[in-house]
Amino acid sequence: MSLSAGERLGPYEIVSQIGAGGMGEVYLAKDTRLGREVAVKISNQQFTERFEREARAIASLNHPNICGLFDVGPNFLVMEYVEGEAPKGPLPLDEVLRIARQIADALSEAHEKGITHRDLKPANIKLKPDGTVKVLDFGLAKLSPGREDASSDQAATQSPTLSMAATQAGMILVPQPTWLRNRLS
């Protein structure tokens, strides 16, 4: 579902497309009720269950280093619009440590709530102009047992291609937040 500038999803007026991937598209939009910029993530139909899992994961988190969820609709999420860029190129050690501490804090919060990100990479990290780090895109998140219904968990594990990719990404890219925090202290 591709949207153009000026189109609306309820009170959200599309400004421009800011991202696209295998699971859908992300748009910068204006929340006409509250007068703020938001990010609207639209899901491709085949990823509806994963999209719902992402919404549940984000909704249970409230942390300054995790992108917030404002609203949900049929096949779309309305999230905090995070102005900034992904980390690029070599960075000074003190900057790397500052960024890593904020990422570790965000992941620690998620893990305490039974959520594993499983897709942590530079593209899913934004550095805001004020230096705050935001972790984005919980689309491959895994909720611990009891945090999601069995049918959506079973559907995720029965998709070998998607599950294997998600598991490999999590195993390779996501160290335990407590280990990382201890190493950085």
Say which residue, 20 or 164, is predicted with more confidence.
Answer: 20
119 classed as catalytic: yes
What would the two tokens of residue 22 be?
């295998």
The answer to whether the Cα torsion of 57, 23, 118, 93 is positive or negative is negative
* Distance separating alpha carbons of residues 77 and 71, to the nearest angstrom: 6
Active-site position among 71, 94, 105, 119: 119
Q: Kindly report which listed range (58-62, 163-167, 181-185) carries the lowest average pLDDT score.
A: 163-167
* Residue, of 184 and 117, whose pLDDT is higher: 117
What are 34-37's contacts with CB under 8 Å, separation 24+? Answer: 36/81, 37/81
Q: For residue 144, give the DSSP letter.
A: P
Which three-class secondary structure state does DSSP give residue 105?
A: helix
49 Cβ partners below 8 Å, 6+ apart?
Answer: 152, 155, 156
Model-level pTM? 0.72
How many other C-beta atoms are found inside a 10 Å radius of the C-beta of residue 22?
A: 10
Which domains does the chain show, CATH number per domain? 8-80 (3.30.200.20), 93-184 (1.10.510)
Structure tokens at 75: 């096949």
Structure confidence by residue, pLDDT tens digits, 136-168: 988 777 878 765 543 344 334 333 333 333 333
CA distance 50 to 43: 9
